[in-house]
Amino acid sequence: AGRAVVVGVGHYLPERVVPNSEFETTLDTSDEWIRTRSGIERRHFAAEGETTSDLAFNAAEAALKDAGLTAADIDAIILATSTADLTFPSAATMVQARLGMTNGFAFDVQAVCAGFVYALSNANALILSGQAKRVLVIGAETFSRIMDWTDRSTCVLFGDGAGAVILEGQEGAGTAQDRGILSTDLNSDGRYKDLLYVDGGVSTQSTGYLRMQGNQVFRHAVDKLAATAETALEKAGLSCDDVDWIVPHQANIRIIQGTARKMGLPMKNVVVTVQDHGNTSAASIPLALSVGKARGQIKQGDLIVTEAIGGGLAWGAVVLRW
Ligand code: ACO
């Protein structure tokens, strides 16, 4: 049986680092509040003129280098983002052009903070159905562009960045011990739109800013994340006891801790980057995978469960052996 195996990972963060203290000068907030309520200490913001496809391209190059591959070896690009450069074409085709690829196909996936989990699941399906052999899967965002800088309850929480993995179809015995994606679980429920959305868009002829009822999202997050992670593990014939690393969407340290607790796993089995990146939406999981590997946490053969929830609500999990 075939498997979609991660053969490369990389990330890119814009140069500018913004510590919490920077918000103290313009808003009624404090480093203490942001740290204790969210776990965030700093975040990166893209430079003026620096776009999502720029961040995505840099992450893609890092992942290709890590895999020892070139763009010619890739036959599909899936880019998870809610902050594409333009309404169209997709940011994925912009990355394709920058990489010098004239073969294959590229498209964006929009599932807000769950975007990377959705993109991984789609890439896995393309590989298992024989439509692609190697897929470059990117999460890239410039959420700084949709912040209302007068709203202290949202603008301190988000950051910009990009991460990427390369998935390759490989033959194998197809057991849970073999490397690759073992299972996926995707969910959405559009009734919860008002909890987290951007109040503008093309069809409403406006741009808009992110609006969030943070405590309401929080209420859904821990239960839904633990449930989707456990469902995905069950589909793979595994349980929480088998997990080496939870690589969660990095929105809030309290959600991350609550989900791990619910799954019965200690924080030493969780990759945490929220303190340095803030919430980078669809970029947070590939960023955490790349940083987790660079730190020496994630090693070949480790069992990983990634999970995310965001606007939609949309949520899901992917179980993979690294
Ligand atoms: N500085 C100081 N005080 C603040 C700030 C701030 N930056 N922001 C809000 N407050 C105040 C509020 O006004 C409120 O004051 P009040 O009690 O006088 O009304 C108080 O702090 C508590 O506010 P809550 O919203 O109840 O605080 P909570 O503990 O829930 O933390 C947070 C807020 C950090 C937003 C949290 O709810 C959270 O992380 N929610 C989930 C976010 C998330 O996961 N989003 C999904 C992914 S994102 C995506 O899909 C794009």
Summarised one tens digit per residue, pLDDT across range 23-37 is 999 999 999 999 999
Sign of CA dihedral 184, 190, 164, 41: negative
Domain count, the chain: 2
Side chain identity at 77, as an amino acid letter? I
Residue 154 CA to ligand 1 center (angstroms) comes to: 7
Q: Are 198 and 148 in contact (CB under 8 A)?
A: no
Both 97 and 230 in one domain: the answer is: no
**Domain termination site, one of 148, 171, 194:** 171
Our answer on whether the CB atom of 278 is closer than 6 Å to any ligand 1 atom is: no
Per-residue pLDDT tens over the stretch 53-65: 999 999 999 999 9
Burial class (CB in 10 A: 0-12, 13-18, 19+), 220: middle
What is the Cα–Cα distance from 200 to 205, expressed in whole angstroms?
7
Residue 19 CA to ligand 1 center (angstroms) comes to: 18
What is the Cα–Cα distance from 305 to 321, expressed in whole angstroms?
9
Sole residue written with tokens 């204790």: 36
Residue 214 CA to ligand 1 center (angstroms) comes to: 5
**Domain termination site, one of 171, 192, 207:** 171
Taking only Cα atoms into account, the Rg of the chain, rounded to an integer number of angstroms, comes to: 18
Per-residue pLDDT tens over the stretch 213-266: 999 999 999 999 999 999 999 999 999 999 999 999 999 999 999 999 999 999
Helix (H) or strand (E) holding 214: helix 214-235
Q: Is the pTM of this model over 0.80?
A: yes
Per-residue pLDDT tens over the stretch 153-209: 999 999 999 999 999 999 987 888 889 999 999 999 999 999 999 999 999 999 899
How far, rounded to the nearest angstrom, does the alpha carbon of residue 67 sit from its chain's CA centroid? 20
- At 172 the pLDDT is 80
Ligand 1 atom nearest to CA at 310: 50
Per-residue pLDDT tens over the stretch 92-119: 999 999 999 999 999 999 999 999 999 9
Whichever domain contains 264, its CATH number is 3.40.47.10
What is the Cα–Cα distance from 215 to 209, expressed in whole angstroms?
18
> What letter would DSSP give residue 276?
H
Residue numbers of the domain that contains 61: 2-171
